[in-house]
Structure 1
């Protein structure tokens, strides 16, 4: 087994393969826009966390697909959780879910098509971290937020039943 197959397995476990936890696709599939935008006392919604996951998965995939990249420090992580209030409708929620599916599929494709050596290549502009470390941490980051999404969904459903 190589790095690529491990990370493809991890990404799939996060998005659509039942493994140790319910995958993101299954958690989200029965939610409508109003439910996805519901906030608890933490001020985060499922939708805002999904936007955050899309942002970072897209950003790191964009970096993975180029030979070298510059880190821009102008990214405010809090901004990656933003949901435009006037776009909270089922059409936009479906678009968000499609973007999420596309980014996970794109990561799978990028990993499958890349050379094995790519994952041991160090990134000089990012602390000389190897790509395998970046992708591994991205998978952990995804799993962390999937746990948050699952808890928010449980709170949402409990609030509906009370």
Structure 2
């Protein structure tokens, strides 16, 4: 397996092809706006906030990968990456994540070998970061009592 195939496999795992852990598509299956905003205490992240956070970092790193700068907007702290800066609906937020991951896949498929070799350490860390937060989303859903074991990770 070469670098491109490895990165594409990682991107699929966090986007839409469950394996050892569920993909984001599976983790968000059936999540309502109310569930996306739920938290069990003030300092805990919500599902919606976590998806916003991943949108921010995935977009920032994709822009860098493509040589288009970095962050889509300025934040003063990591905490602000969890905010809904675009005031998107829940449906728009999940659609934006799906679209962004498709953009990532397309960018990796079409990039040069040199770009892949240079950027692969950042991208592998980014996919691990996504997997970590997908696990948090599944845990939040389990706390809510709405996780469907049929989706995986019982």
Q: TM-score, normalised by structure 1?
A: 0.81
**Structure 1 residues 74 and 33: alpha-carbon distance in aligned structure 2, compared to 1, 3 A threshold:** closer
Matched, 1:77 2:74: no
Which has the larger Rg?
A: 1
Matched, 1:49 2:50: yes
Matched, 1:65 2:66: yes
What is the CA distance between 1:120 and its match in structure 2?
2.0
What is the CA distance between 1:83 and its match in structure 2?
3.8
Find runs of 4+ consecutive structure 1 residues off by over 4 angstroms.
69-75
Give the aligned CA root-mean-square deviation in angstroms: 2.2
What is the CA distance between 1:70 and its match in structure 2?
7.2
Deviations 1:123-143 (A, max 9, x none): xxxxxxxx1110000010000
| Aligned with 2:92 (options 68, 92, 95) | 95
The separation in 2 between residues aligned to 1:132 and 1:18, in whole angstroms, is 22
The separation in 2 between residues aligned to 1:12 and 1:75, in whole angstroms, is 31
What is the CA distance between 1:5 and its match in structure 2?
1.1
Deviations 1:14-37 (A, max 9, x none): 111021011110111201101111
**Structure 1 residues 106 and 70: alpha-carbon distance in aligned structure 2, compared to 1, 3 A threshold:** closer
Q: TM-score, normalised by structure 2?
A: 0.85
Which 5+ residue runs of structure 1 have no aligned equivalent?
A: 122-130
**Structure 1 residues 9 and 75: alpha-carbon distance in aligned structure 2, compared to 1, 3 A threshold:** farther
What is the CA distance between 1:4 and its match in structure 2?
1.2
Which 5+ residue runs of structure 2 have no aligned equivalent?
A: 147-154
